[in-house]
Amino acid sequence: MEIAKKPFGITSKGEEATLYTITNDNGMTVSFTDYGANIVSILVPDASGKVVDVCLGYDDIAGYEKNGPGFGSFIGRHANRIGGARFELNGKVYELDKNDGENNLHGGFTGYNKFMYTAEIYEADDTISIEFSRLSPHMEQGFPGNLDVSVTYSVTQANELVIEYSAVSDRDTIVNLTNHCYFNLAGHNAGSILDHKVWIKANQFTPTTADLIPTGELRDVSGTPMDFRVAKKVGQDIDANYEPLIIGKGYDHNYVLDIKGTEVEKVGELIEEKSGRRMEIFTDLPGMQLYTGNFLNGEKGKDGAVYNKRAGICFETQFFPNSCNIKSFPSCVLKAGKQFESVTIYKFSTI
């Protein structure tokens, strides 16, 4: 295994960004940048050994400075939506950016994917890791507490991309961290993901209002187009006449994962049959947002690619959206001095 680094451009603020590339001995190469702790590319072999990049993204730092879709992005302090862009904690109401209608989405106008991070590299026999860390100061984005936050990406010889989140705050706060990588196992520039097969270990999902804020209901997937307990093609039911799909313009929903939550468990699988590539998803978090790139519209990406509607698919492990305002949901509150830790793994193989 080896790791290399090279300049990745200079931000509009004059910051020098670096691209870090980890390569294992089994055909997998993953690149990251210290600007935003973003995943830039994931190259993995297909069933015949052909290697392509399966992660949507940009060629340079300028793309990641804009990055409306959030390609490869480290998301925080709170991933997904907070209704009314406000929450109450310990009797105090905190007002946040209204960057999604009247709601807060992915932390606000300046998400964690728009900051520079300190990088530390760790090497072992079968794993190379890179830790990106920074201090998110008290009231950044409107959230309380000075938060020491880090995301560590590891590439293993087993073709796993391991993502470890860690955070400690000096005040009670809320924390919901995820990654917003868009996958296309046929290749980042291969077009639609509707023929990909998906399996999700979830008996329920959280239906929403028209502005994609969960109602608080946990709805059974049985007999609905939301059921992925048996693997099926994304396109099979995506345009069904079913209100949640109409609201989301496709899949853009949080699944209630059927796991204990005390250890990392397999919760999903993505398969592209023509290439034979498979990606398994593991996490210890209670929820996962399935998003089918419904709002991509001519986004210019790397290698001259143009990403249109449903060109990529996201599996965002998380606490449920708006859990800070819905007491029946698992809590994303982090108490002062307590350490938040979570692991998500994307494992690549062939069928």
What's 13's domain CATH number?
A: 2.70.98.10
- Determine the Cα–Cα distance for residues 121 and 128; give it in Å rounded to an integer: 7
**8 A C-beta contact, residue 106 and residue 98:** no
Question: Among this protein's residues, is 196 annotated catalytic?
Answer: no
- Determine the Cα–Cα distance for residues 305 and 303; give it in Å rounded to an integer: 6
Q: Which DSSP helix (H) or strand (E) runs through 248?
A: helix 243-248
**8 A C-beta contact, residue 191 and residue 311:** yes
Report yes or no on 299 lying in a domain. yes
Report yes or no on 56 lying in a domain. yes
Point out the residues of the chain with pLDDT beneath 50: none
Residue 89: alpha-carbon gap to chain centroid? 26
Order of strands, sheet of 287-291, starting from the edge strand that comes earlier in the sequence: 219-220, 202-205, 252-257, 287-291, 314-318
With a CB cutoff of 8 Å and minimum separation 6, the contacts of 171 are: 138, 144, 145, 146, 336
Q: What share of the chain is helix, strand, coil (3-state, %, to 5)?
A: 10, 45, 45
From the candidates 180, 188, 196, 253, give the one annotated as an active-site residue: 180
**8 A C-beta contact, residue 302 and residue 332:** no
So what's the pLDDT on residue 14?
A: 98
CB neighbour class for 249 (10 Å; exposed up to 12, middle 13-18, buried from 19): middle
So what's the pLDDT on residue 262?
A: 87
Q: Which domain holds residue 85?
A: 2-190+286-350
Report yes or no on 304 lying in a domain. yes
CA dist list (Å): 215 to 201, 252, 325, 349: 22, 15, 11, 37
Report yes or no on 309 lying in a domain. yes
Provide Rg for the chain, Cα atoms: 19
- Determine the Cα–Cα distance for residues 167 and 47; give it in Å rounded to an integer: 38
One-letter amino acid identity for 242? Y
With a CB cutoff of 8 Å and minimum separation 6, the contacts of 327 are: none
Question: Among this protein's residues, is 138 annotated catalytic?
Answer: no
With a CB cutoff of 8 Å and minimum separation 6, the contacts of 91 are: none
Report yes or no on 217 lying in a domain. no
- Determine the Cα–Cα distance for residues 267 and 289; give it in Å rounded to an integer: 12
- Determine the Cα–Cα distance for residues 46 and 11; give it in Å rounded to an integer: 35
So what's the pLDDT on residue 261?
A: 84
Tokens 């105090």 -> residue: 92
- Determine the Cα–Cα distance for residues 303 and 320; give it in Å rounded to an integer: 35
3-state secondary structure of 84: helix
Report yes or no on 209 lying in a domain. no
- Determine the Cα–Cα distance for residues 177 and 174; give it in Å rounded to an integer: 10
Domain tally for the chain? 1
3-state secondary structure of 246: helix
